[in-house]
Structure 1
């Protein structure tokens, strides 16, 4: 099986933001299954780790983060997140067009994203004396956004402008290019396409050899690239996709559990029950009962 053409690669997620106020900010507790999948989107993103710890895989590079850290995620960054303990993240997303006017008098204002991997890294230096200022600005954005007092849009825009200016001035590094991931853009594109094929045909009896051949790579080379890009081997990732699909069917359809197992590519009910309990932490029957109790 060959991969689809260039136009059929995994599309960037379209994040819908108000054109007059292209900004989103909210706290997330833990990491849901969606963000454990490799994805990319069309907005710029800032993550402030309010508590706990975990790690991001961004363009094949692993960044371990802990309370107080700040990460920048570009609009073309392939990334997924994993929680280790007690994770609360303040997520900020915004459209770069919001700063089109600012670029006229400060063409470097978006450099922290445009020069990512050259002069900036995704994880900002936690030892910098200016990291506290960035945390305070993010907290200010959250408060203004939630209170919606008069002129709050201007206040949020001003705080975000200061945030970007501070990063551009104090977090630029000539050493950043040395930290570039070993996985190239063409290899990441192959991973995107393979994941898209797996998601489109989640019940297909994929083998490692078939997945590798679809990317025109040997099984060992493909496994190495996939693991470094996604953080887990390809067939384990396939199991995660199948279990995610199964959980959605359990919560939204009256299908029998045995039928759901077959629908999601599991060849035996006992294997499905075992893997579901191992990865989800409960039996499929319990998951269905819980979803009905908490609609």
Structure 2
């Protein structure tokens, strides 16, 4: 299957209304699906209303706390984890909604387009204008939820104001960014491999086989994968298998030996050792809880 087609399969499609392509909601904690690396076809703004946690975005970890604002680009490989009492405002929108505004201000989407060049995913929490941005996003949410007359125009205006202030006030020089930025082509290759690994996590993948999927040498592939995902490919494969094992243990239907084999572990001993190392308890203890 062609790489572009495979990438489309792996991409999360967010359904938005054609005339009002924006979703605004609060999330409590982090759903298990969003603890797995994913990417989607919308732009995303997050405000941490309370609690703490961290994002992994294109292999880089961002610790966040109450009051922080994060920008997630449409092609960013990312996942989120809660560490304490997390409530997050999530705004997802289609960048094409702002096409008419781009004629007036071609830079309005620069905070996303120039990510890792002149902007970072986590906005500077100590910036004097950060409180202004929080207020704009909270006002946007109130308008969205109240749905009073002309609320769509006011939400649109708040979004434009937010992006304009970020573009003007939060632009930073990034002289060291270029050598470390992962190109879109490289991310496309990693998304292809992630899709194959997630679909066939029980297969006994070798590093050479994974690299061959995207026509890279094992060393080059490992380097790009680790920078994009934050861990080596075979370690990520172990995490996928253990994630599935935890789910099967919660169902309490299969023998632990069968679960180990189902998830791609060749021996029960190896399964028990890796489970204890990465999950922190034995499979039997996990099942009891």
Query: If the TM-score is normalised by the length of the shorter chain, which range does it land in?
Result: 0.7 to 0.9
Question: Residue 293 of structure 1 corresponds to which residue in structure 2?
Answer: none
Question: Residue 221 of structure 2 corresponds to which residue in structure 1?
Answer: 222
Q: Give how far 1:286 is off.
A: 7.2
Question: Residue 12 of structure 2 corresponds to which residue in structure 1?
Answer: 13
* Structure 1: tracts of 5 or more residues without a match: 291-295
What does residue range 169-248 of structure 1 map to in structure 2 within 5 Å?
169-173=168-172, 175-176=173-174, 178-180=176-178, 181-248=180-247
Structure 2 CA distance, aligned partners of 1:76 and 1:167?
A: 20
Question: Residue 116 of structure 1 corresponds to which residue in structure 2?
Answer: 115
Q: Give how far 1:73 is off.
A: 1.4
Structure 1 CA distance, aligned partners of 2:280 and 2:28?
A: 18
Aligned partners of 1:112 and 1:167 also within 8 Å: yes
Q: What is the TM-score with the length of structure 2 in the denominator?
A: 0.82
- Return closer, same or farther for 1:96/1:214 CA change in 2, 3 Å cut-off: closer
Off by >6 Å, runs of 4+ in structure 1: 285-290
Structure 2 CA distance, aligned partners of 1:56 and 1:178?
A: 21
Aligned partners of 1:60 and 1:182 also within 8 Å: no
Cα RMSD, aligned residues only: 3.0
For residues 141-168 of structure 1, give each alpha carbon's deviation from its aligned partner in whole angstroms, at most 9, with x where no partner exists. Answer: 2233334444433332222122112112
For residues 116-159 of structure 1, give each alpha carbon's deviation from its aligned partner in whole angstroms, at most 9, with x where no partner exists. Answer: 33332222222221111101111122233334444433332222
Structure 1 CA distance, aligned partners of 2:279 and 2:144?
A: 35
Structure 2 CA distance, aligned partners of 1:80 and 1:47?
A: 13
Structure 2 CA distance, aligned partners of 1:85 and 1:179?
A: 31
Aligned partners of 2:116 and 2:181 also within 8 Å: no
What does residue range 80-91 of structure 1 map to in structure 2 within 5 Å?
80-91=79-90
Count of paired positions = 286
Q: What is the TM-score with the length of structure 1 in the denominator?
A: 0.81
- Return closer, same or farther for 1:87/1:233 CA change in 2, 3 Å cut-off: farther
Aligned partners of 1:261 and 1:272 also within 8 Å: yes
